[in-house]
Chains A and B, each alone.
Chain A
Amino acid sequence: MGNPASTDRDWVTLLGENSRMGRQREASWQVPKGVRWQFRAGRAIRSAAVLRDNLLYVIEVHGAVYALDADSGRPRWTRQFPDWIHSTPSISGNMLLFGCDGGKVYSLDRDTGRTIWEIATQGEVWGSPVVRDETVFFGSADGRFYAVELKTGKPRWTQTLGGRISASAYAAEKHVYVGCGDGNVYALDVSSGRIQWSTPTGDGIDSTPAVVGDTVLVGSEDFFFYAIDAGTGAVRWKFETKLGVSSSPAASQELVVFGSKDGNLYALDIPTGKLNWKLSTGRAITSPTVICEPVVAVNAEGTAMCLDIASGKVLWKAGLGGGTPVLAGGRTYVASHYGTVYALE
């Protein structure tokens, strides 16, 4: 991978690392006993936090970007952007990358907050940029998918798809996989952007795919969760929930976990699609799931919770006001929708 987590203390993309597998290498998560620090950003936060080299990066929806010392919560630097921001940042080397509702994608020096480059699209960029092999991949509400040079932001290629692209992509060695508002899951050639295959679902896709082996796993607003052959685009199985699935899945060995707007968290067997367990939370789940073996974490409309991945048993939960948890270095970080960032340990 081009952007692996460098240590067990880092969490560099939306789901920890580009593999979307969570942090399975380490079993470092522990039930939090208390709050180490909290930082009041003041405005709502709709994206997830990322972490590297003991700096936690969080972005308010109203455009303020913060680099916080992970031990103390004190800001190292802050920057205010003119647009609203829903995009979760990604880290690659010294860069912090994210998109804006105004259509721009920025690369910042993550030590100083200085802009390294920026590129404009014609629609909102809500997804988190994904980096692989010196290329940044992202989609836009203008219906185009972009690949740009990591160092310069210079376009390598663009591909027009059939609808808005609000979710993040998964970048594999040869293909980039992304869901689209036109209901299709696309596999694009990583070097040219050419469409290798597209597989229709019954409605738009707002979920970021995970790839395990040769299986693409993704939810659709058609109420189904899909397992698709990564080479051909053939649907291997699909699993029906009672409402749309915009929650991005996390996978662990042969288990994939995702939430549905029907209020349930589902764990399915990847080879067969068979239900392993489900948990009713009573609240719509749209946030991504994240895995830090042996637990899976999710935010269910304001309640952060960690569950035993094997059984679905709730190990810990806290009404912190939302935010996809970051599990790293033995701590749990939550950037709440109400604008408070918590470091729990």
Chain B
Amino acid sequence: MDRRDFVKTAGWGTAALLFNSGVGRGQASPSQPAPPPIEVHGIPPSKPSPLGIPGLFPGRVVEVFHGDSISGNRVSQPIVGRMLNEGMKELTGESSPAAAWQRFIEPHDVVGIKINSSGAPVCFSSPEIVREIVAALRSIGVPAENIVVFDRYSDEIELASYQALVPAGIRLLGIEHGAFDAARYDFDVYCDADFFGESETRCYLAKVVTQELTKIINIPTMKDHSASGVTGCLKNIGYGCFNNVARTHQLPYTFTDPLIGYLCSTEPLRSKTVLHIMDGMREVWHGGPITSHWEFVYEAKTLFIGTDPVGVDTVELEAIEKKRREEGVSSVWDIDPSTLTTDDAEFHQNPLKNLYFRQPGHIAAAGKLGLGVSDLKLIDHRQLRLT
């Protein structure tokens, strides 16, 4: 049975769902025009997966800190390996790391590790963490050839030197390189919306997600974001697996809320993404997602682990807000027009300035789509402090 047959027999027809995107902020505001309708064309699985977003542990976020995990911008692989082991056990309640990983991954799976290399060479998914995840997968029987480390832009992967730094035998994949490079996207799976009158209104999902991978482990970094407020699990998996997403930004407006949530809810991305391990070794509190200014990078020495991307991102948002308060700069919720600039250089140098009316509400909007828990009071936030 091929994929098209499968769609028909699953009874979903074209699997198109038209949303009035009022799930975001619902109506126009001074900081955002009214969002357009968003049409989602996914390919749902034959039966819903309990592992798919929000996964086995909705609302649970495990935060693991170790004071020696990074120093002088160098990450200690043995220490992050230990942090990962303890965090996985805490998340799952299992007594061994192997048993914890086996809750999500089986030896026959084809596992994609979705890195975030967009901040390279300053802040990107630490290769040390990726190597520890690969080692964990290998330890439970996943063959090297069934592991794919991937990201959207191949030149960013290159800048981060993953081609040298990930273990031998596993596949490294950049989905696209350069403008209009859509060959590695699946034209059957897309979200369609006209935000600002753009000529191409569809965002297509990568073929590696629709056709090759059976499970995805998401490794976002911990950064503020000039458009979406913060970038974490949701944005890394949504904007990092679909193309043509930058069109949602047009100074000073952005439709990251609500598009991020819709992208993450699109099948089969939603069902295949089973685990989120946020790299909080470094925290970018201003200038994200791409900064070269070290004064805005803080060594947070933390991993956040969960199956619920909304929960993890909610905790991340609070952490970045706390750091910004400590640094004396405004909240990412701030919509004061006087803080806006159209000068990219000024934005990157001045933490009191921003390019867009940020939309951190994209996290709660994703929660309303059923992707997780965004109410801090309802989040089971477990903190481990290792020494």
Contacts and interface: CB of A to CB of B under 8 A. Distances in A.
Interface of A: 43-44, 46, 61-62, 84, 86, 122-124, 126, 141-143, 161-164, 166-167, 179-181, 202-206, 221-223, 242-244, 246, 261, 263, 282, 284, 286, 337-339
Interface in B276-311: 292
Given A62-B183, A204-B127, A221-B164, 19 more contacts: A43-B178, A44-B178, A44-B181, A122-B145, A123-B168, A123-B171, A124-B171, A166-B164, A181-B165, A203-B165, A222-B74, A223-B73, A244-B161, A261-B159, A263-B292, A284-B120, A284-B121, A337-B155, A338-B178
B172 A204 contact: no
Contacts of A339: 178
11 contacts: A43-B178, A43-B181, A122-B145, A163-B164, A163-B167, A163-B168, A164-B163, A164-B167, A181-B165, A221-B164, A338-B178
A221 B160 CA distance: 9
Given A61-B177, A339-B178, A46 B165 contact: no
Most chain-B CB neighbours within 10 Å: which of A46, A161, A180, A282? A46
A206 B164 contact: yes
A286 B167 contact: no
Given A46-B158, A244-B121, A141 B177 contact: no
Contacts of A205: 164
User: From DSSP, what is the main secondary structure of chain A's interface residues?
Assistant: loop
B118 to A, nearest CB: 13
B154 interface: yes
Interface string B169-205: 1011000011001010000000000000000000000
Contacts of A43: 177-178, 181
A339 B181 CA distance: 13
A46 B172 contact: no
B56 to A, nearest CB: 33
A202 to B, nearest CB: 8
A126 B163 contact: yes
A167 B165 CA distance: 12
Contacts of A84: 154, 177
Contacts of B181: 43-44, 62
A235 B171 CA distance: 32
Contact of B164 (A46, A167, A284): A167
B127 A164 contact: no
B15 interface: no
A44 B120 CA distance: 19
Interface string B88-123: 000000000000000000000000000000001100
B166 interface: yes
A331 to B, nearest CB: 26
Nearest to A322: B155
Contacts of B73: 223, 242-243
Q: Which 3 A-B pairs have the closest CB atoms?
A: A143-B168, A206-B164, A261-B121
A138 to B, nearest CB: 14
Most chain-B CB neighbours within 10 Å: which of A141, A162, A286? A141
Contacts of B292: 263, 282, 284
Contacts of B167: 163-164, 181
Contacts of A244: 121, 161
Nearest to A263: B292
B155 A46 contact: yes
Contacts of B164: 163-164, 166-167, 179-181, 204-206, 221, 246
B216 to A, nearest CB: 21
Contacts of B161: 166, 204, 206, 221, 244, 246, 286
A123 B158 CA distance: 16
A166 B168 CA distance: 10
Given A163-B168, A206-B164, A286 B178 contact: no
Contact of B163 (A122, A124, A223): A124
A179 B165 CA distance: 12
Interface in B120-134: 120-121, 127
A180 B166 CA distance: 11
A141 B178 contact: no
